[in-house]
Amino acid sequence: MPRPAADPVADRQDALDACDVLNDFIGDFITSVMVFREYHGLTQRGKLTLQMMVPIQKMCLSNILLSLYKLEEFWKRYGRLVPELNVEAGKGLVREINRRKVAVFRNHYAGHLFHRDTQRPLTTNQIGAAFGLIAPTGAEDFFKWINDPEAGNPYPSTVVSVCEVLRDALIAKFQITPEEVMSRA
C-alpha cells in the first residue's frame, strides 16, 4: 500500500523529533538494563540486600515498561516516515510489545496501587506473577531482549538494536545531523 504524500518540510521536522525520541528510548533502555544488572550483581555478591534491590528493580522495570508502551505511541505517529526497508522491524517490535501485553501490565499493575478485583494494594507476588506474562522465560531473557551488549545487540533481536536502526535510517533518509538532534527546540 503506497504511503500518502506529505509536506517534506513537515516530514523532516517530524523525523528530527522522531530521532530525538528514539535517542531517549535508547538511553532509557540501555541505562535501565545496566543499572539493574549492576545492582543485581551487587545483591548476588552480598554487597546489597534484597530489600534494597527490590525498589531498584521496580524503578528499572517501570522505566523499561513505560518506554515500551511509548514505543507503540511512537510508531503510530512516526512509523510513516521510516524507510520501507525498515518498516517490518518497527512493526515487528510493536507486535512483540503487544504480544507481551505491556499495555495490560502498565494499566493494571505498574500504573496502579490497588488490584482491580480485590481493591487491595497490589503485592510484590501479584506484580511478579503479572511480570511473568511479559517475561515468560524470566527476567534475564527479558533484559537481553531489551539490551544485549554482550551479544552485540543483534538486529532485530533486541529493542535497542531496532531503535538504533530506525533512528539511523531516519537520519540518513532526512539528512539529519547530530547537532540538529541535540539542539532541537
77-91 pLDDT, tens digit each: 999 999 999 999 999
How high is the pLDDT of residue 115? 86
Say whether pLDDT at 1 is over 50.
Answer: no
Q: What is the mean pLDDT of residues 139-145?
A: 94
8 Å CB contact between 16 and 178: no
Largest interatomic CA distance in the chain: 59
Task: Give bridge partners of residue 32 from the DSSP assignment.
Answer: none
Q: What is the mean pLDDT of residues 120-125?
A: 89
Right CATH for 10-177 from 3.30.200.20, 1.10.10.10, 1.20.120.1060, 3.40.50.720: 1.20.120.1060
Band the pLDDT of 21: cuts 50, 70, 90.
Answer: very high
Say whether pLDDT at 5 is over 70.
Answer: no
Q: Which residues contact 168 (CB under 8 A, 6 or more apart)?
A: none
Domain boundaries, the chain: 10-177
Nearest to 101 by CA among 156, 142, 140, 153: 142
Distance separating alpha carbons of residues 103 and 6, to the nearest angstrom: 31
Nearest to 163 by CA among 103, 56, 58, 78: 78
Q: What is the mean pLDDT of residues 12-30?
A: 97
